[in-house]
Amino acid sequence: MNHTVVIATVSWARTRAEQKIILATLKKLSLLNMPIVLADEARSEFPIAPFVKNIGNVYIVRGYGMDQRIKKSLLKASSNGKFICFLESDKLEFAHKHIFRFINAFLKNPKGVWFPSRTSKSFHRYSSYQQNMEQFLWETFRALAKQKRLLDISYGPRIFPSYLAKYLLLLNKNIRFGWQGYLLIIAYRLHLSIHAVAFDVIPPQDIQKNQELVLHRMQQTADHLEGMRIGLSVTL
């Protein structure tokens, strides 16, 4: 069956607590009555697949490493729906409070790429370091794509046409978090419209602390920048 929207997500549970959050997120998403494709880590110490039997509409694919799981999740979702709604599996607050309004806003105008945009109040709840790193990404995309306004492209959830997933097959290197910037640049090159819906959200608690957290944000930023760079050069 070809659905209008298929939800895609990836599990990267590193603790028992994160495993519980991911399962709670899936339960909330299942209330949408839309197919959910979850890519689970094949060698995880905290797998999700064994615990989803009682959660409706969840389809499991397995892979090794972040890049393989992202590709499997998005490609499987693309074969079953016209649009993909990607949501990080630990975004419990968004799944609980905002996902219905986000998808309903999209369904009123189902075209292009859609983002939830954090309100100014929401964004300023994050650390000043993270704010600076994320705004740098926003400014980079605005410059590359000749956008007139800043777009909150780094919060995570997004909806985009399923056919964009096929461009992941052109990647010949691992870019981890950078797939989001990569597909966004390709969407720009294909002249897709970009839409945003504002939400007031609460920052999730980070598992990393101090220097480890800074290094994690550095890696995320580097991945996004590399994804955008490759997205500009790949042959469409």
Kindly list the domain boundaries of the chain, sorted by start residue: 3-233
Which residue's structure tokens are 């996004």? 224
Question: What integer pLDDT is reported at residue 56 of this predicted model?
Answer: 85
Q: What is the pLDDT of residues 71-130, one digit of tens each?
A: 999 999 999 999 999 999 989 999 999 999 999 999 999 999 999 999 999 999 999 999
All residues at 6 or more sequence positions from 66 whose CB lies less than 8 Å from its CB, including other chains: 10, 12, 174, 176, 177
pTM: 0.95
The whole-angstrom separation of Cα 126 and Cα 57 is 33
Under DSSP, the state recorded for 155 is S
Per-residue burial over 12-43, b if 16 or more Cβ lie within 10 Å, else e, is bbeeeebbebbbebbbbbbebebbbbbbbbee
Strand order in the sheet with 194-199: 58-63, 36-41, 3-10, 81-86, 158-161, 113-118, 194-199
Total Cβ atoms within 10 A of residue 126: 15
CA-based max dimension of the chain: 47
Residue 146, classed as helix, strand or coil, is: coil
Instruction: Please state which CATH number belongs to domain 3-233.
Output: 3.90.550.10
pLDDT tens track, the chain, 236 positions: 579 999 999 998 888 999 999 999 999 999 999 999 999 988 889 999 999 988 989 999 999 999 999 999 999 999 999 999 999 998 999 999 999 999 999 999 999 999 999 999 999 999 999 999 999 999 999 999 999 999 999 999 999 999 999 999 999 999 999 999 999 999 999 999 999 999 999 988 877 788 999 999 999 999 999 999 999 999 99
